[in-house]
Amino acid sequence: MLTVHHLGKSQSERIVWLCEELEIPYELKCYARDARTILAPAEYKALHPIGAAPVITDGELVLAESGAVVDYIIARYGQGRLRPGPGDPDFASYLYWFHFANGTLQAAMGRMMILNRLNLPEDNALLAAMRARLDRAFAHVEARCSEADYLAGGALTAADIMTVFSLTTMRYFLPYDLAPYPNVRAYLSRIAARPAYQRAMAKGDPGMELLLS
């Protein structure tokens, strides 16, 4: 049985959403963050040597890293869904945005989150450079959302599942104003209307306000 070990307010929400979109059987085990440290509890850290979310188990397999987990589930259970093939005109766009999610957007947000905690002066050169990089990343998503309904093209793919966490739940850890990005907000409205997304968030993070605007 595929089991998704979901840490609240974490990248593992991607995996819950993926399973709901694919409508595959899975067991969901939810873990709460430590109220004082906001970190994963010891029982979650013990699941995998890296000690971070997401983690899945599938029989004897224990797998971490959200990109690897998404690829594994699609390859094993997806039956060709949510990932365009090499002959599809959206294939290159899919690959780009799938890897942009963690390679650029989430990485930039993570670095900014750490820099913000250092209480650096506003004129700090590193802070300014990283803020500019993050702004460019959001502007890039905004431009793409003006061209297509979803990141790879006209249909939802795993590239969207990888990216939406950074545009929404990650803003609990790094507040970021989406007011300048109307196309991103319209995109998130389309995501919010998806029954699978609604089910995933209700199951994984019940009661959490969804930062969709």
Enter the pTM of the model. Answer: 0.95
Same domain? 182 vs 155: yes
Q: What is the predicted pLDDT for the residue at 35?
A: 84
Q: What is the predicted pLDDT for the residue at 34?
A: 86
Let me know if residue 16 belongs to a domain. yes
Number of domains in the chain: 2
Let me know if residue 212 belongs to a domain. no
Domain that holds residue 55: 2-82+199-204
Sheet holding 61-64, edge to edge: 27-31, 2-7, 55-58, 61-64
Same domain? 99 vs 180: yes
Q: What is the predicted pLDDT for the residue at 48?
A: 94
**Residue that has been written with the tokens 């390859």 in this structure:** 75
Q: What is the predicted pLDDT for the residue at 171?
A: 98
pLDDT tens, position by position, 1-23:
999 999 999 999 999 999 999 99
Q: Which residues of the chain have pLDDT under 70?
A: none
CATH of the domain at 32: 3.40.30.10
Let me know if residue 27 belongs to a domain. yes
pLDDT tens, position by position, 142-166:
999 999 999 999 999 999 999 999 9
CATH of the domain at 120: 1.20.1050.10
Let me know if residue 210 belongs to a domain. no
Same domain? 60 vs 135: no
Same domain? 104 vs 164: yes
Q: What is the predicted pLDDT for the residue at 37?
A: 87
Spatial separation of the C-alpha atoms in residues 165 and 8, rounded to whole Å: 12
Q: What is the predicted pLDDT for the residue at 36?
A: 87
